[in-house]
Amino acid sequence: MDWTLLSETIRQSLDSPFNIINATELNGGDIHSAYRLHTSEGNFFLKLNQPNYAPLLQTEANSLKKLSATNSIRVPEVISQGHLAGKNPQAWLLLSYFELSHKGDDHQRGRDLAELHHQIHPDKQFGWFENNYIGHTLQQNTWHNDWVEFYGQQRLLPQLKLAAKNQAPKSLLANGIQVFKKLPYFFEDYQPQASLLHGDLWAGNSGFDKAGEPVFFDPASYYGDRETDLSMTELFGGYGTAFYQGYQTVFPINSGYQQRKSLYQLYHLLNHFNLFGRSYLSQVERMIQSLLNA
């Protein structure tokens, strides 16, 4: 990486002093390269990738800006973004830097998420002003007035179509379509609001700063049922009892969530199958069967 050229590129984008003194590569991401930049203006967080990944960085920046504007959850500030020319062209996104910890106020983290979910779309519509990405899978976000149709047509069905291309068993696909057809059953007594969502809230996408205050990052935001965020927090673990207690104090969870939780987790498990392969196959099959048996 030509850090001198990047310094100049960022300096021009900011129209202010910016000189990279050193860069430390960070672990954790499976799509972009990530660095802590020590600069003349302090520390920053940098994401780098090939130019064709620029749309992922752009949509992430847009989500972060929207989340930040709510003053509900704390997210990295978008400093600048752009393209690096030269022999090794790169797309880049520059964010404020947090020294992260796994220990902090989990009760407050739950309350913060609940405050975010109180941000309801003014026209009660589900979707987003642009398509974005879940991992590096395109996530469709066309505006819709009906959540069941939105979730079926723009979440489950695209993942099932991808799974077909990725040689998923025909039985899985057939049963997945039956879950798709059964969607109205899960919403007979529940009408979700169009809450502003983080969108990809596994435990690796939130943490705490050095003072123990919650921080959220790597969003794939849209307006949808808040239970989709909650279900993702439970899919791979990492959130403690205090988190859910904190959430409940601000925005009590609806009855029936435990049944709908699997429905929402299925979307992410299908995406993991499509991104990472057959190691997720049996988990997807079990979840589809449990939904058909509900």
Whole-number Å distance between alpha carbons of 203 and 235: 9
Could you give the CA distance from residue 264 to residue 269 in angstroms, rounded to a whole number?
Answer: 9
CA dihedral 200, 267, 131, 112 (to 10 degrees): -30
> One of 106, 112, 200, 229 is an active-site residue; which one?
200
DSSP 150-190: HHIIIIIHHHHHHHHHTT--HHHHHHHHHHHHHGGGGGTT-
* Measured distance CA(101)–CA(210) in Å, rounded: 6
* CA 209 – CA 156 distance, rounded (Å): 35
Tokens of 128: 């987003």
| 200: annotated active-site residue | yes
H or E element at residue 246: helix 241-250
If DSSP codes are grouped into helix, strand and coil, which group holds residue 229? helix
Per DSSP (E only), the strands in the chain are 20-26, 33-39, 42-49, 78-84, 90-96, 132-134, 137-139, 195-196, 206-208, 214-216, 223-224
Closest CA to 7 of 213, 258, 16: 16
Question: Which residues contact residue 241 at a Cβ distance below 8 angstroms, ignoring those fewer than 6 apart?
Answer: none
Catalytic positions, please?
A: 200
